[in-house]
Structure 1
Amino acid sequence: MRLAAKPRAVLSSFLLHPNAVVSRDRLIASVWDDPPRSALANLQTYVAVLRKAAIEVETQGQGYLLTLDPDRLDLLAFDEAVRQARLESARGDLAEAHRLFARALSLWRGRPAEDVPLAGPVTARIAELEERRESARLDWIDVRLRLGLHDELVAELTPLVETAPLSERLWHRLMVALHRAGRRAEALEAYRRARSVLVAELGVEPGQELRNLHAAILNDAPVEPAAPAAVLDASAPNAAERREPAWRGICLLPADIADFVGRESETRKVIAALRATAGRTDRGSAAPAIAVVSGPPGVGKSTLAVHVAHQLREEFADGQLFVRLGGASPSPRDPADLLAELLRALGVDAAVMPASMEEQAAMYRARIADRAVLVLLDDAGGEAQVRPLVPGTPRSAVIVTSRGPLPTMPGAVALTLDVPPPADARNLLAGVAGTDRVESDPESAEAILRACGRLPLALRIAGARLVTRPAWPLAEFARRLTDTPARLNELHSGQLDVRTTFAMSYATLSPQARQAFRMFGPITADSVAAWTVAALVGASAHDVDHSLEELAAAGLISGSDIDAAAQPRYRMHDLLRSFASELFAAEESEGCREAALRRVAAEARVRVTDAARELPLAFAPPPSGVPARTPPSAEGGAWLSAERSLLIAVVVTAARAGLVTVSADLAHALAPFLILRGFHDDAVYLLGEAIEAAARAGDASAETRLRLVRADAEVDRRRAHTVAVEFRRLLDRCEGAGDRHSAAYALLGVAATMEDDLRSALAVATRAADRFITLGDTHGLLTAWTEVAAVQLYLGRYDDAVTTSRRALALADGESVVHSARIWRGMGIACYEMGRVEEAVGHYRMSFDLSRELRWNNGERIALRRLAEAEGALGRFDRAARMLADCREMCARAGDALGEAITAYALGEICRWRGDERAALDHFTACYALLSRLNEPVWSARTREQIARSRAALGELGA
């Protein structure tokens, strides 16, 4: 098919750089002198056109690759023929060299891409190719001079010097051809003409080589053709020295860091990977050892690599090479330029530098073949940039630093560098700022370490700033780093700047990856799953997958963790997240920012609602569209546990952004999980943020609903007395607003806080239950009946408690099993108190099994303690003691001091029943010590009574 002008220009750019990754920026610069704003989108369209035309262009990172064989592209065929011709010339087979050069030059028809509209930057590449053609032509001329084809060459060279009269190389060959053809006078005339042009045009005399040739012709001395530019005659005297100038012990490494601290294990790992190489050819592999050190910007990859390289200098005595690849910049360095830099360092004269990257790589490998050379490639942009720089023999070794992993580097030992541990980070800060300075205010020093996220670059900058201001209190600097939203402004000193370092990596990303990076900014969470980024972007998880992979490859996020729900989790360093937050505010419009937060909060609510279907509803009127409750499911609970921190952060961020409805709805959906799993502080915190947002916006309905749920969280952790006033205010508020449904929950909350007037509490709870029956709210009714039964138990009305519980059980089918677990436990208590202990054991086991299935730890602990008490009452003391010991340990792990105290009380009773009053006294004393820190007058009074009883019994026994 015939391609339009722009797709042909893109294709020509690929053909001018065959088998090499061409960056998007280079392609755009090649196609447009003044790129339009839509240049990137247009470029992607043109690449799609090429693919439709069966031109197999591959996407490679931030660029594209067109893979071609020599039989499909004249340029590659030319390069291969020239390479073979030069080899044959060096071997002395001039006839074969002549044939190969002739074939190579015949492939040139006009200028490269002469009929394609290409932009200015391509001119340099075209000039380079034309120079390669002229170099090959000169080598071919030299071969024919050595073959004696002088007359043929005179006819060819005469018009060439007219076309390029300033080329001394062409004049030199014409003079040789004329002289050896017996045309000495014409050779001298050629020199005169050459000198006349050079003086007239450039004001210079001919070069030494041309003058020496002129003198030889004047003296009628024999004239030899010049050696080919790229090949030296191996038969010449001292050929080995000419072919490979002596070098040894070259060191291009930057200086090691004088205050290098920590990283012992990482240093050992890299050294171990490379040490086996030094001076060895019997490692079982012909490949050099490669160590790849990757990690986020500023983490100290280059510092570690340079330190390791200096440690290994003696073991790689033939040299240590170093080049910066610029992979983190928008324009990574071309491998050909890097090879040329290394070759110059190895003593290769620019005059004999091969033109193509493949020939440069071959010369580079030949130069260091069988030598013990350590090559440090700093800041690699990808495998394609690194591969040409890897030595070809096993005695050498390579250290590569890269912001992202290089997974396709064969045989490489990979080391992902994280921030140093706290002690090493502190030592680094002290090494720069001074130990005395850091130790003078350890608390502020720790605050600085936390604010810097222990990132080595940030710590060096922080230390440098403290050095420049010796009178500056650490507390003031810590305050700036902690309190200032734009804390990156404080992390700048001289040439070191955290924000600039991050910006370099950000600039290399595709537009899609940049947007994904910005979306890590608004939500402050340790890690996120793909769905979170997708919701913020407004795309599917599949659509953002490539962007996340690009961010990981750039070292801006890590994706090595899998959470309990089998989701990959992506983490970003705190300072990088601060940078992302700045970009989110600066580059996203207000409308886009709000839409992103609405999307993620709405998506989170949908997911939470689905995952929490096994849990009871919140202590408030249920929203519309709530799905039916299901039996316990491990998958939903695992997802909620994995996403807990992220979901809390979404609620808080949305609330502070004034998005009342979505933040309130998500808080309402998430609260039951947090309360049931014992994360009461988290529940109170996020509900408080959502309540403040609702109050600021004047949304009284949302505020009331959230305050009911928050007060219930306090009741659940046995702090009913702290919210008694709150529930009464809410009741007045709801009744005043005519909100009968919310008023029913507030009324039930009032009943739960009437601990000092149980008869009134029973009446209020019964009234609330009647209201829920009228409203048709099954969840509210079950909650109310559970409260009614609990008060009946406290009043000793055990038959009434059993009746209420049976009535509730008949209604509990299809609701959360939390209701059933509570009801069975209440029935067990009633049966136990009525002396029906075996029946109580069955009820307790049912409650325990349901609580464990639901992973309701608090319910599980309470049921286990009650079950142990019943087992003890049946004389099964050993079993009861084991169960109570397990229960006490569970309470201690959960931080449940009251549960731990009551369990100690139960252990005291078991010891008394088995006749060990001394052990009973120890347990009752331990119980009282725990209760002394709590406001529990009822249990404290009971325990004092039991302690007195034990002491009296021990006194009677003469103990």
Structure 2
Amino acid sequence: MEFRVLGPVEAWRGGERIALSGSKMHTVLAAMLLAEERVVSDSRLSALLWGWEPPATASAQIYTYMSRLRKQLGEEVEIVRRPPGYVLRAPGAVVDLVEFRRRERDGRRALAERRFEEAADLLREALGQWRGTALANVTEHMLDAEPAPLEEERMLALESRIEADLELGRHEYVMVELTALVAEYPVRERLRAQLMTSLYRCGRQADALHTYYEGRRVLSEQLGIDPGEALGSTYQAVLEGGLGLGPRRGGRSGAARPVPSMLPAPDGELVGRDDQLELLRQRLGRGGDRPRRILVTGMAGLGKTALAVRAAAENSELFPDGLLFAELCGLDGAPRAPRAVLAQLLRALGESDRALPAGDLEELVRLYRARTAERRLLVVLDNASGDRQLAPLLPAGTSAVLVTSRSRLARITEEDTLALPLLDDDASLELLAARVGRRRLADDPDAADDLVAYCGGLPLALAVAGARLAARPHWTVARLAARLADPATRLAELSFGDWDVSRVLRSSVKHLPAAVHEVLAGLADPGLSEEPFCAERAGQWLALGEDAAEAALEALLDAALLELAGLDDQGRPLYRCHELVRLLAAALDGPVRPALRASR
């Protein structure tokens, strides 16, 4: 039995998640797990479930929740009445919070005893227990009371792990991470002092001093205080040259080479992808001589990049020589030349521009493979256009490659291909709640359900809807739902700032052959609105032969503009078109539908 609270509250048995419905059930379970076999009183449970206004039937409802938990958790878990409340006992169960605290305690002890390598490993393992915001699916009343102390424990462990890495000479490895952390937590002085140390040791003394001056201003403006001992002593050490540049040790091997960390900063919470994260963890952790090449594929806007970045960050301890990241498409959607990507990756691995072969792709590939042959790296290649672009970017040796692409790739096996699904309704609501808050959705649950339906489980669409509501607190959920209700304007409404669902979907259409483009436009016709459909039916409606229709539909499938929906009774593939793709098809230039009707 396994329980998780460092993220959404979950219970697992035999590798399968136990379905627990509703925030109150998760709250009751979380409260008893946090108590660590101590009694949780009825009054405590009532406050966590309903706040200051419990219903008259609170005791009866708590009794019902306990009965449901007993039934769902089974005989491995004992929930008993111990006045004035309840206690949970689960001998032999694994609780992620307990595992985190044990590893964190051992890691800080190793750090105090200057066993830095061991300390870094233990603290990474401890932080690996976290899957997001603690207690993410409990009631708002519990969220007001419990997550802050847990988050402080996580931050202390993170600061200790960074201290161990700095003692090991991994200042380049942690500098990018620290830059993002200081931006997120500007008044945490220990983090700012660590960033100053890493900048100084990378030869950036001026930036280290600027970091101090910025921190002094933030502390004065936000808290009305001056820098404390940790920040002040680090500032003095920078001025006096007392932090030491020393040789870079970069990892276990002790080689004087950089340990790159190129992952982009995460963009909000990753919702509804726990199973996929676990699968990627297993694939990335697989040993042996077989190359680890893993593909995450699916339609535009599904969150492939967010999933890959999260998986890479959570499994970074498997790759002590660093994390590489490259976007394989430009801002206009055009594929980047492998030569430019290789140059970027080689610079991250420590090569100077003068050492890079000018204009010779084969020489760049040879140098890249020589530099990766004896390292344990994870290379994340985002938005690959195809195998031809990917082939020169595959590293040598035991390094792993995590690729995202809208297309299936011949160089990656079916076993190592993860087709990312759309989010179900529960996960879609959770993503919206992460953007705008649970209370706002709860005020009009019907309108929230309508929003979910209009977004069709596409994370980008849900993120845009959430961002629009967050930016307009005076809007009701029903108002945005009403704006999305009209199919003719829905895509235009799903745009906010740099996020534009229509633009992202159009990037999949841009390079389609003309004949395939015409077939996609034809899919907007109401005659094909009943899904799924086979190539014969599409051909009849579009005035095409079955073979020509199937070739076009397969091309759309390869571009992730269609998805397979199984086989019909004759063994022929059935296709399904996402509603937002159908709306895009209706807006394409050069519609073919009137001409096709006239030809039949």
| 1:378-417 correspondence to structure 2 within 5 Å | 378-394=382-398, 396-409=399-412, 413-417=416-420
Deviation at 1:527, TM superposition (A): 2.1
* C-alpha distance 570-329 of structure 1, shift in aligned 2 (>3 A): farther
Q: Which of 338, 356, 361 is the equivalent residue of 1:357?
A: 361
Q: Which of 262, 266, 271 is the equivalent residue of 1:256?
A: 266
Deviation at 1:560, TM superposition (A): 5.5
* C-alpha distance 568-411 of structure 1, shift in aligned 2 (>3 A): closer
Name the aligned partner's letter for residue 440 of structure 1.
D
Q: Identify the residue that residue 366 of structure 1 maps to in structure 2.
A: 370
CA distance in 1, matches of 2:414, 2:315: 20
Deviation at 1:440, TM superposition (A): 1.0
| 1:786-935 correspondence to structure 2 within 5 Å | none
Q: Deviations over 1:72-102 (max 9, x none)?
A: xxxxxxxxxxxxxxxxxxxxxxxxxxxxxxx
Q: Does 1:559 align with 2:577?
A: no
* C-alpha distance 464-245 of structure 1, shift in aligned 2 (>3 A): same
Q: Deviations over 1:913-935 (max 9, x none)?
A: xxxxxxxxxxxxxxxxxxxxxxx
**DSSP 3-state at the match of 2:266:** coil
Deviation at 1:393, TM superposition (A): 0.9
Deviation at 1:293, TM superposition (A): 0.4
Q: Identify the residue that residue 466 of structure 1 maps to in structure 2.
A: 469
**DSSP 3-state at the match of 1:298:** coil
Q: Identify the residue that residue 325 of structure 1 maps to in structure 2.
A: 328
Deviation at 1:352, TM superposition (A): 2.1
Q: Which of 306, 310, 314 is the equivalent residue of 2:313?
A: 310
| 1:541-552 correspondence to structure 2 within 5 Å | 541-552=546-557
CA distance in 2, matches of 1:271, 1:519: 41
Q: Identify the residue that residue 81 of structure 1 maps to in structure 2.
A: none
Q: Which of 431, 435, 438 is the equivalent residue of 1:435?
A: 438
Return the structure number with greater helix share.
Answer: 1
* C-alpha distance 476-484 of structure 1, shift in aligned 2 (>3 A): farther
| 1:74-89 correspondence to structure 2 within 5 Å | none
Q: Identify the residue that residue 577 of structure 2 maps to in structure 1.
A: 572
Return the structure number with greater strand share.
Answer: 2
CA distance in 1, matches of 2:304, 2:498: 18
* C-alpha distance 377-412 of structure 1, shift in aligned 2 (>3 A): farther
Q: Which of 500, 505, 525 is the equivalent residue of 2:530?
A: 525
Name the aligned partner's letter for residue 347 of structure 2.
R
Q: Does 1:514 align with 2:497?
A: no
Deviation at 1:539, TM superposition (A): 2.3
Q: Which has the higher contact order (CA 8 A, sep 6+)?
A: 2
Q: Identify the residue that residue 288 of structure 1 maps to in structure 2.
A: 291
**Higher mean C-alpha displacement, 487-496 vs 249-258:** 249-258
Deviation at 1:408, TM superposition (A): 3.8
CA distance in 2, matches of 1:508, 1:389: 23
% same residue: 35
CA distance in 2, matches of 1:410, 1:443: 43
Deviation at 1:485, TM superposition (A): 2.0
Deviation at 1:598, TM superposition (A): 5.6
Deviation at 1:362, TM superposition (A): 1.3
Q: Deviations over 1:703-750 (max 9, x none)?
A: xxxxxxxxxxxxxxxxxxxxxxxxxxxxxxxxxxxxxxxxxxxxxxxx
Deviation at 1:406, TM superposition (A): 1.1
CA distance in 2, matches of 1:338, 1:560: 36
Q: Does 1:300 align with 2:310?
A: no
**DSSP 3-state at the match of 1:252:** coil
**Greater Rg, structure 1 or structure 2?**
1
**DSSP 3-state at the match of 1:375:** strand
Deviation at 1:330, TM superposition (A): 5.3
Name the aligned partner's letter for residue 262 of structure 1.
G
Q: Identify the residue that residue 29 of structure 2 maps to in structure 1.
A: none
CA contact (8 A) 2:258 2:350 kept: no
Name the aligned partner's letter for residue 385 of structure 1.
Q
Q: TM-score, normalised by structure 1?
A: 0.35
Q: Which of 274, 281, 288 is the equivalent residue of 1:271?
A: 281
CA distance in 2, matches of 1:456, 1:519: 26
CA distance in 2, matches of 1:450, 1:533: 26
Q: Deviations over 1:615-646 (max 9, x none)?
A: xxxxxxxxxxxxxxxxxxxxxxxxxxxxxxxx
Q: Does 1:492 align with 2:495?
A: yes
CA contact (8 A) 1:383 1:409 kept: no
* C-alpha distance 545-325 of structure 1, shift in aligned 2 (>3 A): same
Q: Deviations over 1:668-721 (max 9, x none)?
A: xxxxxxxxxxxxxxxxxxxxxxxxxxxxxxxxxxxxxxxxxxxxxxxxxxxxxx
**DSSP 3-state at the match of 2:378:** strand
CA distance in 1, matches of 2:336, 2:505: 19
Deviation at 1:309, TM superposition (A): 0.7
Deviation at 1:420, TM superposition (A): 1.2
CA distance in 2, matches of 1:292, 1:431: 27
* C-alpha distance 498-582 of structure 1, shift in aligned 2 (>3 A): same
CA distance in 2, matches of 1:478, 1:511: 35
CA distance in 2, matches of 1:343, 1:594: 53
* C-alpha distance 482-565 of structure 1, shift in aligned 2 (>3 A): farther
Name the aligned partner's letter for residue 504 of structure 1.
S
**DSSP 3-state at the match of 1:372:** coil
Deviation at 1:555, TM superposition (A): 1.1
Q: Which of 448, 451, 454 is the equivalent residue of 1:448?
A: 451
List alignment gaps of at least 5 residues for structure 2. Answer: 1-253
CA contact (8 A) 2:487 2:583 kept: no
Q: Identify the residue that residue 710 of structure 1 maps to in structure 2.
A: none
Deviation at 1:549, TM superposition (A): 2.4
* C-alpha distance 528-594 of structure 1, shift in aligned 2 (>3 A): same
* Cα RMSD, aligned residues only: 2.3
CA contact (8 A) 1:289 1:411 kept: no
CA distance in 2, matches of 1:269, 1:401: 15
CA distance in 1, matches of 2:562, 2:480: 28
- Equivalent pairs counted in the alignment come to 346
Q: Does 1:336 align with 2:336?
A: no
Deviation at 1:594, TM superposition (A): 2.4
Name the aligned partner's letter for residue 374 of structure 1.
L
Runs of 4+ with deviation above 6 angstroms: none
List alignment gaps of at least 5 residues for structure 1. Answer: 1-243, 278-282, 603-959
CA contact (8 A) 1:329 1:508 kept: no
CA contact (8 A) 1:327 1:382 kept: no
Name the aligned partner's letter for residue 271 of structure 2.
V
| 1:632-651 correspondence to structure 2 within 5 Å | none
